[in-house]
Amino acid sequence: MAKRDYYEVLGVQKNASKDEIKKAYRKLAIQYHPDKNPGDKQSEEKFKEATEAYEILADEQKKSAYDQFGFAGVEGMGQSHDWNNFRGFEDIFGDGGFGSIFESFFGGGFRRGGSSSVRQGANLRYDIEIPFKDAVYGTKVEIQYSHNEACETCKGSGSADGASKKTCPTCRGSGQIRHSQGFFSVAATCHICHGEGYIIETPCKDCGGLGTQKKRQKIMVTIPSGIENGKRVIIPKQGDAGPNGGQAGDLYVFIRVKRHEYFERQAGDLYCAVPVSVSQSALGAEIHVTTLDNKTIKVKIPAGTQSGKLLRIRGEGVPSGGTRGDMYIKLIVQIPEKLSRRGKELLEEFAKTEGQNDSPQPIPLSQLAEN
C-alpha cells in the first residue's frame, strides 16, 4: 500500500506553521491512540501514520528534505517503533505527557463535532522517466492516470436528490458515540455513519453514495529546464476529489532522468570527454566539438596540453532561472596502437631530438590535482 503525503495525513498545507502542525497532530493522536481504541487495527495504523508524519514535519531538517525529495529524502528518518513513548508526545501534550489526552477520553468534553465538514482529497503520485536532454532544456510530457472525480450525477454530494442527508440519529451528528466503563465514559467512532455525523437516505446510484467516481484522464505536464533526477513537479488540484464536494488534492510527478551516452551533469554544469591526438596536444590545435543541443563550437587546444586537462566553455551548460552553467571538455590524449613505418621513424627522430627520461620520478599529487 502506497504511503500518503505527510501533509495530507495531518490535514495541513505545505506552508503550515509549527504550531499548526503540532495542533493537527495532537488532534489525530487523541482520536486514534491505541489506549482509546483497544484492538482497533485501523485506528492503530492511523495513529502510527500520523506520528510518523509529525516526526518528519516537526523537524526542520527532515521537513526540508521531504519538501525537496519526497519520501526518498527522509527514508529511515521517521521510524519510531515505540509509538507510546514517541519523543514528540511531551512536546505535544505538555509535561503531563498523555494526561490531557485522558481528560479528553474520560468525560473531558472530547467531541468530534462537525466531522461532515468538507475535506480536501488525497494527493497522488506519478513517476516518469525522461531523456537527459529534456531534463536539461525542459519539455512537456503527456501522462494518463486514474483519479477520483466528483460524481457528475450528484455533483459530489453522494445523494440521489442532492438533499437527502440527515443527521445521524445514533451519534446526533457528533460522529462519535460514548460507552460507559465503570466511572469513565469512552468515546468511539459511530458505527452507523462511520464518523461522518450524517447518513444519506437515498444514495446516488452512479457513485453508490461516495460522491466520487474513478476516472482516467490525460494532462500535459511541463518539465522545467534544469530539473534534477529525483525532483518533483506539483500539479495543483489534479489529485483525488475531496469528499462532500471538497477541493481536490494535488498530483506529484516525480522525475527520473536517463543517463546520457556522452554527457554527465554536476549541478548547472555539463561534462564530456573528447579524444585528441599526440600532435594536437603537443603542438596545439583548433578542434570542433558538438554540444548537447547539437551546436558545433570551435575549441582551441593550447600547445603542451596534457591528457585529462579540462577546458571550460562558458554559457553552454544547464539553463535554469534565467542563467546558464558552463560546459567542461576533458581532453583525452590518444596514443596510436599501430604506427606506419614513416610515423615510427618520425617518433624515433623526435625522441633523439628532444630526449627522453629513462628514470622518471613520481609526479606530485598536487600537480595531478591541478590538471
Which range has the worst mean pLDDT, 149-153, 219-223, 271-275?
Answer: 149-153
Q: Cβ–Cβ contacts within 10 Å for residue 288, how many?
A: 9
Q: Which of 50, 81, 110 is the last residue in one of the domains?
A: 110
For residue 103, what pLDDT band results from cuts at 50, 70 and 90? very low
Which tens digits make up the pLDDT trace of 145-176?
Answer: 999 998 888 888 788 876 667 888 888 888 88
Which range has the worst mean pLDDT, 1-5, 145-149, 239-243?
Answer: 1-5
Q: What CATH number corresponds to the domain at position 307?
A: 2.60.260.20
> Number of structural domains, the chain?
2
In three-state secondary structure terms, 207 is coil
The grid cell for 291 is: 554540444
Q: Which of 307, 274, 278 is nearest to 288 (CA)?
A: 274
Determine, yes or no, domain membership for 215. no
DSSP string, 307-328: TT-EEEETT-S-EETTEE--EE
The grid cell for 89 is: 508526545
Q: Which of 88, 110, 132 is the last residue in one of the domains?
A: 110
Mean predicted confidence (pLDDT) in 1-22: 87
Q: Which of 168, 154, 149, 148 is nearest to 203 (CA)?
A: 154
Determine, yes or no, domain membership for 207. no
Determine, yes or no, domain membership for 43. yes
Determine, yes or no, domain membership for 319. yes
Q: Cβ–Cβ contacts within 10 Å for residue 6, how many?
A: 27
CA distance 64 to 61: 5
Determine, yes or no, domain membership for 299. yes
Answer yes or no: is pLDDT of 344 > 90.
Answer: no
Q: Which of 110, 132, 160 is the last residue in one of the domains?
A: 110
Answer yes or no: is pLDDT of 193 > 50.
Answer: yes
Which tens digits make up the pLDDT trace of 196-211?
Answer: 787 887 888 888 777 8
In three-state secondary structure terms, 314 is coil
Determine, yes or no, domain membership for 196. no
Determine, yes or no, domain membership for 175. no
Determine, yes or no, domain membership for 244. no
Higher pLDDT, 89 or 241: 241
The grid cell for 148 is: 477520483
Q: Which domain holds residue 32?
A: 1-110
Higher pLDDT, 62 or 292: 292
Q: What CATH number corresponds to the domain at position 98?
A: 1.10.287.110
Q: What size, in residues, is the chain? A: 371
